[in-house]
């Protein structure tokens, strides 16, 4: 699989200056990790956001999001966000913040 390099660059700009963030190829796409824990990623032109189980349903209520069903079975705690959901810097930032908030509360 491939991933949108344009979206990858948008994410890099959005998280510029944040510490302890790395990139790793995963799921046939690209993942962004905070302290080794994935908080968002990209498959094709979809943004993946790690919401965690407690914010999963709320995230699905947002426009342009849907369950992440990478293996044919939804992965609770992760959502796909289509391009219309992250086309603005503000929209992308809001999704990234959801992922960062969740990942920052995971045990190291």
Predicted structure pTM score:
0.94
- Alpha-carbon span 77 to 55, nearest angstrom: 7
For residues 30 and 61, give the distance between their C-alpha atoms in angstroms, rounded to a whole number.
Answer: 25
| Spans of all domains in the chain | 5-87
Averaged pLDDT in 10-residue chunks for the chain of 108 residues: 92 96 93 97 97 96 94 90 96 98 90
- pLDDT for res 27: 80
Please name the fold of domain 5-87.
Answer: 3.90.1150
Given strand 37-43, what is the order of strands in its sheet?
A: 21-26, 29-34, 37-43, 46-50, 78-81, 65-67
């Amino acid at each position: 699989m491939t991933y949108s390099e344009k979206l990858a660059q948008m994410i890099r700009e959005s998280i510029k200056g944040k510490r302890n963030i790395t990139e790793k190829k995963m799921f046939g796409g690209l993942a962004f990790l905070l302290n080794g824990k994935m908080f968002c990623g990209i498959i094709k032109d979809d943004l993946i956001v790690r919401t965690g189980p407690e914010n999963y349903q709320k995230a699905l209520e947002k426009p342009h999001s849907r369950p992440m069903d990478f293996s044919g079975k939804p992965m609770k705690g992760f959502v796909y966000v289509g391009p219309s959901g992250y086309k603005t810097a503000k929209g992308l930032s809001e999704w990234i913040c959801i992922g960062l908030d969740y990942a920052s509360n995971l045990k190291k």
